[in-house]
Amino acid sequence: MSFQTVPAGQGLKWLTDAVNLILKNPAPFALMGVVVAVAGMVPILGFFALLILTPALYGGIIYAAREQESGGNADFKHLFQAFNEPGKLPKMLMLCLPGVAALIILGILAVIMLGGALLGAGISGASSNNAVIGAGMGVGLLFFGIIALAIALFTYALTFFATPRVMLDNIDPIPAMQESLKACLANIGAILVYFGILLLVGIVVSVVIGFISTIIAQLVLSIALIPVVSVAMYRAWREVFRHGITQEIPPVDVPPSTPPAPPPSFEA
């Protein structure tokens, strides 16, 4: 299926549309966010479980968004929709592969870059002061942060449109990820606006609530953003892939019909 390019400002509209859709029936979306957020806070096990199950759970929230927008009602049970549809769960779980690969790559880079910076700073520290050690670590952290951000964006682009495509269009995950990357590159402006707003909101909320408790800040942020991010993916998919948008069909010129010829008359 072909996709279209949208203006950069649509990245903000995806988020505002998501918030408006959630507010029409906030209770089930909030409960979905609570379950996913709390599960993710379980030490070690929760992190790795969500790393694998996140596409399936996000797909469930996306399914709930479509139900809500199509005139039905979102329900908490929709969170596990991918688990209930035959053959859907394996496809959704394959979408976790970019995240797993990114985590492995970042782990290797952390050992190489930060470990190398620490070793180099330690060696030079034998003949210099602590400022040199700190500068070496700072440069290593800066480069690692830039690379980590680039990998995160690339990973997100692979799954951004693929999650609703596999969940709602039931296409295979590998072609879906390839198509998602192409669609994100074609709409890089909207994607960067969307990602930048999410990052800014996350920082602001974390700083404000973080004065009370870091754990509470993380929990509140996750509960709020998980449904919004999922529904925004649904809205982006609908717009970029033209789902549910009726195209005006030009009228067809029909030649006027010729009146039938009168029957022949017979004179006596």
pLDDT tens digits along 10-35: 999 999 999 999 999 999 999 999 99
Q: Are 194 and 14 in contact (CB under 8 A)?
A: yes
Q: Check residue 169 and give its pLDDT.
A: 93
pLDDT classification of 136: cutoffs 50, 70, 90? low
Q: Check residue 44 and give its pLDDT.
A: 77
pLDDT tens digits along 140-189: 678 888 898 899 999 999 999 999 999 999 999 999 999 999 999 999 99
Q: Where are the domains of the chain?
A: 10-240
| Tokens at 189, concatenated | 């402006």
Higher pLDDT, 266 or 81: 81
